[in-house]
Chain A
Amino acid sequence: MSNTEIVQLLLVIVGLFFVAFEVFTNMNDVEDDTTNVILYQATLKRMLFIPFAIGAIAGHLFLGTTSKLFPSYNIITAIDNELLVIMGLAVISGLLVLFSKRIKTRSREFLTVLLLAGLLYGHFFWSMND
């Protein structure tokens, strides 16, 4: 079994677990225990980074600018540029959690703005095409 196949197998296993979990939570009598409701309720509480992170992952996987925004050398010598971008994502997520109590609104429009901001972050800074 090649290394690529091992990674694919891991994804398939995790995917199957997720599907089994979704089927189980949909069939049982307990309300509001499906993944989408759990993630939405977490977003409404303090986890404001969830829409941003989902947007960033989508921008990273599905979009990605072809123009090179980062120089070919590492901006911080010891840290790879991609790692720097991921650290940036972590910092923004941390800030969103930190200020979540001060940010009163949880409207769909606001969450959409966060999703779009994440999408742009993934497209411009976390591109696989540059």
Chain B
Amino acid sequence: MIEFEAMLNINKTIANSTEKQRKWAKIFVATLAVILAVADAFFAIKDSKGFPTFSSLFKSHENHMLWFTFLFGCLTGKIFYNRFTHQKKKEQKGIILIGIVVVILITIGLLLKQVHVEPVIKLLLFVTGILCASRYWPQYKNPAGQKRNFTAFENAD
């Protein structure tokens, strides 16, 4: 009985610390978003003093930002069309694939002479990023910690 209670207490402590870590992760993500928003607003106000906003920086370096277009698509895909796997290797392969595409796009961006890139190409890269992340970059989940069954869409195994 005492052993059972001790185990219960240990489980509670682990659950509490996990919840705390998740809370800190949420605070970190929110802080980064706020920093970016406040900085952009500040640059917009100081525009006359030569501080470009993130948007104008993107506009003046469109060719160098092809990789970001693709990666932004990947992150969007990871948020809304994420799939899960029980094999760590599948996730690692996905990260390597995305990394290779990003390096290729950085190289293409640096080689391009003209700055302007047609919107349709950027849209294609964005959508390709979503599809690549959803199809080839599943998220590893420890089978022991799985609380519910994956849906047919979510299951990447």
Contact = CB atoms under 8 A, between A and B. Distances in A.
Interface string B109-141: 000000000010011011000000000000101
Interface in B79-120: 79-82, 119
Interface residues of B, number: 42
Contacts of B54: 7, 11
A63 B119 contact: yes
Please list the 8 inter-chain residue pairs (A to B) with the smallest Cβ-Cβ separation, ordered nearest first.
A62-B122, A36-B78, A33-B25, A3-B50, A36-B79, A30-B21, A3-B51, A63-B119
A33 B21 contact: yes
A99 interface: no
Contacts of B69: 61-62
Interface residues of A, number: 42
Given A14-B35, A30-B22, A128 B81 contact: no
A61 to B, nearest CB: 5
Interface of B: 18, 21-22, 25-26, 28-29, 32, 35-36, 39, 43, 49-52, 54-59, 69, 72-73, 75-76, 78-82, 119, 122-123, 125-126, 139, 141-142, 145, 153
B59 A31 contact: no
Given A21-B25, A30-B18, A61-B55, 20 more contacts: A3-B51, A6-B51, A7-B43, A10-B39, A31-B18, A31-B141, A31-B142, A32-B22, A34-B139, A35-B25, A36-B78, A38-B29, A40-B82, A50-B79, A58-B72, A58-B76, A62-B69, A63-B119, A63-B122, A108-B153
